[in-house]
Amino acid sequence: VLRDLIGYSRAMYANWIWHRRLQLVVDAGEGLQLALGSHVFGPSWVAITHGHSDHVLGLPGLIAARRFGKGATDKPLTVLHPEGSRGVQGARDFLAGVYPGVAFPVTWMPVAPGASVPIGGGRMRLEAFLVRHTSELALGYRVVESRRRLKREYASRPQAEVEALARSGRRDDMMEPYDHVVFAHSGDAMPVDVHLVKSADLLVHDATFLHEADRREPIHATTGEALQVAAQAGVRALVINHLSIRYDRATALPTLRAQVAGSGFAGECWLLDEDRFVALRS
Ligand SMILES: [Zn+2]
């Protein structure tokens, strides 16, 4: 899972994650273009979850680096963002003000919950879904791949019989299409709907609080809630994101590892802490 990922998470400072295989960046906190370095031309998609500064201040830097840096300076980039986002509008205004007359190869795509765009040459779709954060519109995103599988009534039959049926020309009606969630990201949010992230290969989930008692307003999930979503959805890997800097890591990590061990979540589990993916299972 980590092979595909570069990320940074420091709540209130900067948050973003890059999924190399999907050519997708979720959020654009400061430092994004610096960390991507020679990979700065990799992303084709940026999906902004909400307009708070720790999620959008890296947009001007990324877009300017792609326009004026050395590389594929005309490669198209599409930025999905919640419609009406003032933070994203501020980044656009900044670019227009500093570089008047410069055309950037960027498509700004305001999206509402339920929006879906084809990616990966049309094999997959990038979908936006509503999450609960502050009063401003906030989105989570998921990447869904259309796959085919053997229908249930055939799955229990002996393999030799299934193969014989397939060879006899029935292959097409023996198969059914289904949606597989390759990647999902909660943005900053309370726990997401489990059915949206069912069996996902990778879930990145907000977990700002180690303890529910530390949460004053219902705008961020706890580590326990993120683990519960991951367990109930049966995701293969969970990346815990956006952990508050109020927690001293030397004491927070043992607490978090104990939560993971007792959570009933059996998949891979990591904490994205600044630029490090910290293993949460010993
Ligand atoms: Zn944030």
Q: Pick 106 or 122 by higher pLDDT.
A: 106
- Alpha-carbon distance of 255 to 65, in angstroms, equals 40
Mean pLDDT of the chain: 94
Return residues with CB closer than 5 A to ligand 1 (ion). 54, 188
Q: Write down the pLDDT at residue 133.
A: 84
**Range from 120-124, 267-271, 275-279 carrying the lowest mean pLDDT:** 120-124
Annotation says 54 is catalytic: yes
* Distance from residue 163's CA to the centre of ligand 1 (Å): 51
272 — phi, psi (to 5°)? Answer: -85, 110
Q: How far is the CA of 64 from the centre of ligand 1 (A)?
A: 23
Mean pLDDT of the region 34-48: 95
- What's the 79 CA to ligand 1 centre distance in angstroms? 18
3-state secondary structure the chain: CHHHEEEEEECCCEEEEEECCCCEEECCCCCHHHHHHHHCCCCCEEECCCCCHHHHCCHHHHHHHHHHCCCCCCCCEEEEEECCCHHHHHHHHHHHHHCCCCCCCEEEEEECCCCEEEEHHHCEEEEEEECCCCCCCCEEEEEEEEEEEECHHHHCCCHHHHHHHHHHHHHHHHEEEEEEEEEEECCCCCCCCHHHHCCCCCEEEECCECCHHHCCCCCCCEHHHHHHHHHHHCCCEEEEECCCCCCCHHHHHHHHHHHHHCCCCCCEEEEEEECEEEECCC
The pLDDT tens digits of the residues spanning 115-174 come to: 999 999 888 999 999 999 888 889 999 999 999 999 988 888 899 999 999 899 888 889
Per-residue confidence (pLDDT) for residue 121, from 0 to 100: 87
- In tens, the pLDDT along 185-211 reads 999 999 999 999 999 999 999 999 999
Separation of alpha carbons 126 and 59, rounded Å = 19
Residue 38 predicted with pLDDT over 90: no
Q: For position 72, what pLDDT does the model report?
A: 92
Per cent of the chain over pLDDT 70 is 100
> Residue 244 Cα, ligand 1 centroid: separation in angstroms?
10
Averaged pLDDT for residues 252-273: 96
pLDDT tens for each residue of 47-98: 999 999 999 999 999 999 999 988 999 999 999 999 999 999 999 999 999 9
Give me the pLDDT at residue 170, please.
86
Specify the pLDDT at position 282: 66
Angle at 138 between CA 137 and CA 144, to 5 degrees: 130
- Catalytic residue, from 4, 27, 54, 179: name it: 54
The pTM for the full model equals 0.93
- Measured N-to-C along each axis, helices 86-98 and 59-68 cross at an angle, to the nearest 10 degrees, of 40
